[in-house]
Structure 1
């Protein structure tokens, strides 16, 4: 801009001039804040990059809670910053420290503050319910005043450079296990900042009797959602599909999820339980659900199979009636006749059924023998069976066969 206005000098001269004439701002002074034992703790989140689990990348976050007087801390790595995860980490911190401080100082997190106008604050109702259960007072610090929670900010810096830097780990559980040992052996063994003659763990033992006692039961921090499946017996949660009984398809269910378990409830009755998957795009199935669906589908296929035989072959109705009069196993004969229908076609099967009825040879084996005899007389190749896996979803699938005469015509055209 200066050159456009005709300035011919160097940038160095401009910097020197600005340095001489820039107004000098006075450094802001801060009060030293001191607290009593058991009076306050400071809480915050910290980001530590991302963690790959299978084919998914999850954010790696650390929950950090520091007792303001003893500087004892609790930290835990998690894969989400949801409200449920936030409250769950509070519960674990209270248990690890042996009590609850009377107030907790927060940044203006959305999990804590829904709306703020000056000193007028609307807290998240779930956090207020949690605070009432443990009898502490939530206190957000002033906006853009990170110095008010400097103890937790310094603890995060300490955690980031003393523990996490260059550390190797195999999983989230391994990382948290190493973190617990580091807190016990290193963080709590360091000198107390305000009294270097004592250690942090000694100050914690002195502060612990002054913390509020834990309630008789822990606060429920599970994710609770109402959802329903589509036409398939699966419900989707956090990018993964979890199986449910096929009788509950499209019905509203209640999902209750912790950081390790996913439960599905029909009213108050638990209908499914799965280990929570932190990967994405996975399908978690219960063998009982698949077995019940397969048994149900086999019965349905049996009824639909009889209708298909009747529609394809006029003699099928009389043949099935003859099987029933002999107390034959209809499901087995129907399944075999359907396989013959797929392999030989409706015209050949109708001819074999008519011949079998006229001879009194009532049975799927007799029909199969007549079909094979007819193919040998016509000098046709034998029908080869297709081997399928044991998965009931594959075995119960119905595929409509198509004519291959177009390919046969191509072969005849190329032959000499």
Structure 2
């Protein structure tokens, strides 16, 4: 295969001489080669690439296409190669990787999302999003980032959390800073905005609906898990975090207080809004002066939450978190929304929790101030503890476990004590106990298990040893025999009566 330079030299020599042989001599190739490339140029098909040759992977391309289609283009090349080897493929993994890359590229044709530029009207849209802020005094802060779509004017605010009151206050500050309220608000499906999705339709949070009605704006949310729906605010969050959150790249130091972070946000907004935008070629603050004419006025009184901050009770634990403390509510409110506020000051300070039901607002709990790690709990807010909540009871889950536990209470005691002692091969020993119950009585095996549990005898042969010893003692005992009180084989003391007495003379006895 000739290189591009060699092909150009051959064609140049042919154009100069008009002879295939002369061109071949000048180029150092055969006149047949010159003729081939001249004919290819005349046909418009010159290429410096060789003709494709058969490869080992050709017979398996259909299977690779099947895997790529089934995995929606996510199958890994190394996984595909292992599968091909199992099918008899003898080529290298590099060949497989090239083939998978080609098949994936063909798969993505027609499936790539095409983005159309969003051309907005002045005064129509504000997008807002959140970013993780820096740590201040050990507490993570949040960056609220709003982006006016037409003028590209940005508002970055530091907030302590993403609760409804904080978000509503940030939106109020944003609209007053830009000098008006737009027609639409676009954001993510945060719980402060969207409660749930029913058949793909977002169900709005009533508190946020009331807020939008107060300012005369319409609330919209993007498609879930689709940041491209609000790319402007996503990009603004990325830029804000790069300039405001201390990292190794921007060499920013830690913030001493929350007020320092707020000042840094104001400086950042002044810089980016005075800088010429790369798309509009104009400064956002200059364009805002024109867009402000299309915004409608902001109400003089900001929207307030009457009962405090909203909290959602978890679905399994009737506890709500408020300012680093936890407070109990009646368990009937699991999954419900409650309002939390502080009442009083100093020693009389209390946390009041209100729930709005069908009959109106009702105070459901009142607690003293809680400290982090020491929650305020009312026992009446929790249902009675279910049986076994404070201690585990053996519960058979398999046939073998049921056969073992059916031996009796001794088996249950042995299981609990053996598990607590970290006994190994418990299932094998349980099966042996069931087998021993066929050689001995079930009562004897249950007694032996209880005896082993009390004396911590959990070795492999301990149970059989206890049973054998117990059986030996029982067999050897037999009927009990007891000596009579009238007769005894014990030696008496009559022989000691002659001790010290004189004995008759032998001669006297003879006479």
| Structure-2-length-normalised TM-score | 0.43
Secondary structure of the residue aligned to 1:195 is coil
- The answer for the alignment partner of 1:30 in structure 2 is 115
Flag structure 1 segments of 5+ consecutive residues without an equivalent: 227-235, 242-252, 268-275, 283-416
- Alpha carbons of 1:199 and 1:28: their partners in 2 closer, same or farther (altered >3 Å)? same
- Assess if the C-alpha contact under 8 Å between 1:222 and 1:256 holds in 2: no
- The answer for the alignment partner of 1:183 in structure 2 is 269
How many aligned residue pairs are there? 247
1:104 offset after TM fit, Å?
0.4
Q: Does the alignment pair 1:203 with 2:287?
A: yes
Structure with more of its chain in strand, by fraction: 1
Secondary structure of the residue aligned to 1:220 is coil
1:78 offset after TM fit, Å?
2.2
1:176 offset after TM fit, Å?
1.3
Secondary structure of the residue aligned to 2:132 is strand
- The answer for the alignment partner of 2:470 in structure 1 is none
Q: Deviations over 1:20-68 (max 9, x none)?
A: 33334133222221111111100111124x5152xxx433221111110
- The answer for the alignment partner of 1:219 in structure 2 is 303
- Assess if the C-alpha contact under 8 Å between 1:254 and 1:264 holds in 2: no
Cα distance in 2 between the residues matched to 1:167 and 1:96: 27
- The answer for the alignment partner of 1:132 in structure 2 is 213
- The answer for the alignment partner of 2:341 in structure 1 is 255
Moved more, 74-83 or 96-105: 74-83
Cα distance in 1 between the residues matched to 2:307 and 2:263: 24
Secondary structure of the residue aligned to 1:111 is coil
- The answer for the alignment partner of 1:15 in structure 2 is 97
Secondary structure of the residue aligned to 1:59 is strand
Cα distance in 1 between the residues matched to 2:242 and 2:180: 28
Q: Deviations over 1:110-144 (max 9, x none)?
A: 21111223553310000000001111000112233
Cα distance in 2 between the residues matched to 1:134 and 1:280: 37
* Bigger relative CO (Cα 8 Å, ≥ 6 apart): 1
- The answer for the alignment partner of 1:90 in structure 2 is 171
- Assess if the C-alpha contact under 8 Å between 1:70 and 1:192 holds in 2: no
Cα distance in 2 between the residues matched to 1:9 and 1:194: 50
Flag structure 2 segments of 5+ consecutive residues without an equivalent: 1-81, 311-320, 327-338, 355-368, 375-511
- What pairs up with 1:297-312 in 2 under 5 angstroms? none
- Assess if the C-alpha contact under 8 Å between 1:100 and 1:134 holds in 2: yes
Q: Deviations over 1:129-167 (max 9, x none)?
A: 000111100011223332221111111122122443432
- The answer for the alignment partner of 1:318 in structure 2 is none
Q: Which has the greater radius of gyration?
A: 2
Q: Does the alignment pair 1:148 with 2:202?
A: no
- Assess if the C-alpha contact under 8 Å between 1:40 and 1:102 holds in 2: yes
1:5 offset after TM fit, Å?
5.7
Cα distance in 1 between the residues matched to 2:342 and 2:90: 71
- Alpha carbons of 1:209 and 1:15: their partners in 2 closer, same or farther (altered >3 Å)? same
Instruction: Please point out which of 164, 172, 191 is paired with 2:258.
Output: 172
- Alpha carbons of 1:203 and 1:83: their partners in 2 closer, same or farther (altered >3 Å)? same
- The answer for the alignment partner of 2:398 in structure 1 is none
Cα distance in 2 between the residues matched to 1:90 and 1:41: 10
- Alpha carbons of 1:66 and 1:254: their partners in 2 closer, same or farther (altered >3 Å)? closer
Secondary structure of the residue aligned to 2:108 is coil
Q: CA RMSD in A?
A: 3.6
1:95 offset after TM fit, Å?
1.9
- Assess if the C-alpha contact under 8 Å between 2:130 and 2:144 holds in 1: yes
Secondary structure of the residue aligned to 1:73 is strand
1:188 offset after TM fit, Å?
0.6
Cα distance in 1 between the residues matched to 2:308 and 2:349: 10
Q: Does the alignment pair 1:46 with 2:131?
A: yes
| Structure-1-length-normalised TM-score | 0.52
